[in-house]
């Protein structure tokens, strides 16, 4: 727990309180947006690499489908794996890089959630602050004079779900075509695909509304940044 506080929670908490002290009107909502963007920029090189990999995988998807069709028997699984890895290598794709990036980002994302959810604002925990962070400020919990960051916001929750839906439509590849005699694996893949595209945004909307407006605002900001990042990668990537 001490390691969690020292490396993740305390730095994020101090960053949030510091930003509240410098943004106009000590607006917690604006501080949440700035902190989210700062974290996303910090992780941009890693996330950019993942986004680029996803774009390339979508580009070579027809070749992957041909390999699956050619080596569709149980005894061909090893050959399929080797051919797939060779195709990845030819296109400079590291299939395990995405998992590494997720592992790196996960503690930070959880830390952000915990700061927004359990930070106790508008009360500031002086014992957690660094010496250079001003703890005497009075946080303004009303985002741009409209939304209470400590309360619930249906509008922000709906925006979180909508931006998540748009992000999934852009990032996710097209669903595999339904076969005449689909296997259990085929049905599972299609089901997971549909859930990520259509069920996940609903879950995000409900969760964002239940927890707090601050979490919803974080999600909206994060999703918009991710959408912009994906479009940027697509525009600049070289085949």
Domains held by the chain: number: 1
> Which pLDDT score is estimated for 187?
59
pLDDT band at 67 (very low <50, low <70, confident <90, very high): confident
Interval 1-41: pLDDT, tens: 588 888 889 999 999 999 999 999 999 999 999 999 998 88
- As a whole number of angstroms, the distance between CA 33 and CA 235 comes to 25
Interval 75-127: pLDDT, tens: 667 777 888 888 888 887 876 766 776 677 778 778 878 887 777 788 898 98
Q: Are 149 and 141 in contact (CB under 8 A)?
A: yes
Please identify which residue in the block is written with the tokens 């929670």.
9
- As a whole number of angstroms, the distance between CA 205 and CA 86 comes to 40
Interval 159-177: pLDDT, tens: 999 999 998 888 776 655 6
- As a whole number of angstroms, the distance between CA 94 and CA 53 comes to 8
* Structure-model confidence comparison of residues 185 and 46, the more confident one: 46
Q: Which domain holds residue 179?
A: 2-236
């Amino acid at each position: 727990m001490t390691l969690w506080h020292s490396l993740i929670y305390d730095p994020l908490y101090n960053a949030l309180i510091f930003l509240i002290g410098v943004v106009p009107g000590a607006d917690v909502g604006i501080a949440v947006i700035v902190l989210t963007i700062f974290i996303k920029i910090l992780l941009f090189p890693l996330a950019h690499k993942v986004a680029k990999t996803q774009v390339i995988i979508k580009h070579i998807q027809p070749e992957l489908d041909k390999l699956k069709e050619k080596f569709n028997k149980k005894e061909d699984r090893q050959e399929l794996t080797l051919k797939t890895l060779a195709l990845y290598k030819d296109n400079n794709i590291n299939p395990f890089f995405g998992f590494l990036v997720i592992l790196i980002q996960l503690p930070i994302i959880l830390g952000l959630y915990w700061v927004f959810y359990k930070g106790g604002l508008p009360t500031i925990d002086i014992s957690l602050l660094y010496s250079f962070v001003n703890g005497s400020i009075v946080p303004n919990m009303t985002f741009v004079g409209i939304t209470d960051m400590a309360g619930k916001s249906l509008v922000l929750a709906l925006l979180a779900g909508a931006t998540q839906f748009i992000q999934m439509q852009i990032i996710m590849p097209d669903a595999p075509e339904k076969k005449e005699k689909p296997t259990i694996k085929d049905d599972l893949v299609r089901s997971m695909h549909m859930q990520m595209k259509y069920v996940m945004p609903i879950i995000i909307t409900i969760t964002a509304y239940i927890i707090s407006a601050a979490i919803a605002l974080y999600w909206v900001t994060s999703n918009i940044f991710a959408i912009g990042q994906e479009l940027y990668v697509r525009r600049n990537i070289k085949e």
